[in-house]
Chain A
Amino acid sequence: MSRKLLIYFLSLMFIPSIFFLLSGFNNKLPVNKNGRLVIHFLNIADGKKIARDSIYQNAFGEAYTVSKLKYYASNVHLDNFREKESYHLIDAFSSDSFSISLPPGRYNNFNFLLGVDSIKNCSGAQSGVLDPLNDMFWTWNNGYVMFKLEGTSAFSTADLHRIEQHVGGYKGAYKTMREINLSFTANPVIISENKFQQLTIQINIDKYWQGVNEIKITALPVLSAMGEQAKKVADNFPGMFSVQHITSQKN
């Protein structure tokens, strides 16, 4: 065998090994492999999980039902970890959780924005959960409905005794998005490689009606525009959320 031919064969053998090395190297890049955190929203009122046929009573003795409960959770943070392009739409009747990928570690704080940041409110046609198809965008005075609660109550003076709470407004004094900051220092979320963990956040509708401000169905059965009333309602948002539990899941 000539020397040239030998080199040729050797190099042929070498090519696959380069690929092998490259792929192997790729898999062993010195970054931590992320774990996943499922964030589940437990929607409750009057001590019961929100369900279509349930009847709830608020602090003012007003009985009501809930047929729709949707809200945006965006700009999700766990300590210093910030989810990119972080927009989630929670629907109590169809999708009440989402999951995020984040590096292994101990996390003591969960922060998000209830609603949609002002920039996305005025940046044109959006897609995904921000698509106006989700029926969470005002067409005549543009901006997102941050939080939507619909149902019925005998205490509602509106047509068909309906309750329609569409809380929106993103500008200046009338902005309705609110920072929600939850801590769990005693029982941190521990994320490890390739593992699922679940964080359950409770949202208590009782506190929608009675928080820092009192919202009575009799007085405000329908809220469908930004303004002073919407701002008052939004001030109740932070008090509605609490950490319910943190569980490890297999996988």
Chain B
Amino acid sequence: MLIIGAAKDDGYGSYKPTPLKFNIPVGWPKPPTDIFAKNKLTEDGFQLGKKLFYDGRLSKDGQTSCASCHQQFAAFSTYDHDLSHGVNNTFSTRNAPALFNLAWMTAWHWDGGINHIEVQPLSPLTAPNEMGETLDSVLIKIKTDDNYRRMFKAAFGDAAVSSQRMFKALAQFTGSLISANSKYDKVKRGEDTLTQYEQAGYEVFKTNCASCHKEPLFTDNNFHNNGLTLNRFNDNGRQKITLLGCDSLKFKVPSLRNVQLSFPYMHDGRFYALSQVIDHYTNISLTKPGLDTLLKNKIAINNSQKNQLIYFLYTLTDTSFTKNKRYAQ
């Protein structure tokens, strides 16, 4: 009976998943937790996740996909937008972060309110100023699409569609986005050299920026108060998640990789240019309450050093990532 049942064709194709290996770039630390420990990475799961990522039907208006605000050419941030557009002409209240090297994080979003990569999509899917949809409705749209059902079977063994499978597939795609092939990386691998100017910028970086923007990920993935003033949304960042006064105005340190493409900067996109960001750090009032202790010493960067630093930051641009067809629609 079992044998007959297994052989019976359900019309959704076969289940022969191709395992994928998660490759840690040379010289990088291991991710702090294995996000794929209970979500076996396969080509089929990755492809399903990619389809979901690019599918506007996941939103209320049928047009706003994950990729609407996470554009590959901008390292999966929203290009040239301080805030992003949600359904019904709404705006988000935070700058859409670039998406790469997510497997090295332990908390996601600017405030770290997301405790596992798999459950992150729930937030943009259901937020009225993002994709504005309900989970039930998304699942109905997917269940009634035979292409999806074939892909669910290829990835998970049968054509049953569930939120858990959808989120696991999305995590296989987003968790696989690795950017590790910038000029900086090539230099580290001995395949390229920094110009004198870039090298000078690297020294400025190491002296002034590297404790929070820690190499090789260029973030410590932690939360810091970097002296920004409270914005018009009264967004106090990490405090909203932990309710701790000491976390007021702390935000997650974004990676500086691909920073040339992920402007505008900060959690609300208040700075359009890297020079503005550097000016912010050199002009911080050191007596500002709550300011991170790492910023308590005056940052002195003169104009030529500023330019050198910016040229160094440009070496973190990874066009093999932003043009990688494997990540494209």
Contacts and interface: CB of A to CB of B under 8 A. Distances in A.
A24 interface: no
B282 interface: no
A143 B115 contact: yes
A151 interface: no
B123 A140 contact: yes
B192 to A, nearest CB: 38
A125 B118 contact: yes
Nearest to B126: A139
Given A124-B118, A139-B127, A131 B163 contact: yes
A121 B115 CA distance: 8
Contact of B115 (A127, A142, A174, A228): A142
A170 to B, nearest CB: 9
Contacts of A125: 116, 118-119, 163-164, 166-168, 171
Given A121-B115, A122-B116, A226-B243, A139 B162 contact: no
Contacts of A174: 243
B171 A133 contact: no
B241 interface: yes
Contact of A133 (B127, B135, B240, B243): B135
Contact of B164 (A122, A131, A139, A228): A131
Contact of B113 (A121, A126, A137, A140): A140
B38 interface: yes
A124 B123 contact: no
Given A123-B116, A124-B117, A174-B243, A139 B163 contact: no
A226 B114 CA distance: 15
A106 B243 CA distance: 46
A142 B114 contact: yes
B139 interface: yes
Contact of B38 (A124, A132, A133, A228): A124
A121 to B, nearest CB: 7
Interface string A104-142: 000000000000000001111111000111000101111
A139 B132 CA distance: 13
A28 B131 CA distance: 57
A227 interface: yes
Contacts of B191: none
A206 B237 CA distance: 37
Contacts of A142: 113-116, 119
Interface of A: 121-127, 131-133, 137, 139-143, 174, 226-228
Given A127-B163, A133-B139, A228-B243, 14 more contacts: A121-B115, A122-B115, A123-B38, A124-B116, A124-B171, A127-B162, A133-B136, A139-B122, A139-B123, A139-B127, A141-B113, A141-B241, A142-B114, A226-B243
27 contacts: A122-B116, A124-B35, A124-B117, A124-B119, A124-B168, A125-B171, A127-B162, A127-B164, A131-B163, A132-B135, A132-B163, A133-B135, A133-B136, A133-B163, A137-B119, A139-B122, A139-B123, A139-B126, A139-B127, A140-B113, A140-B123, A141-B113, A142-B114, A142-B115, A142-B116, A142-B119, A143-B115
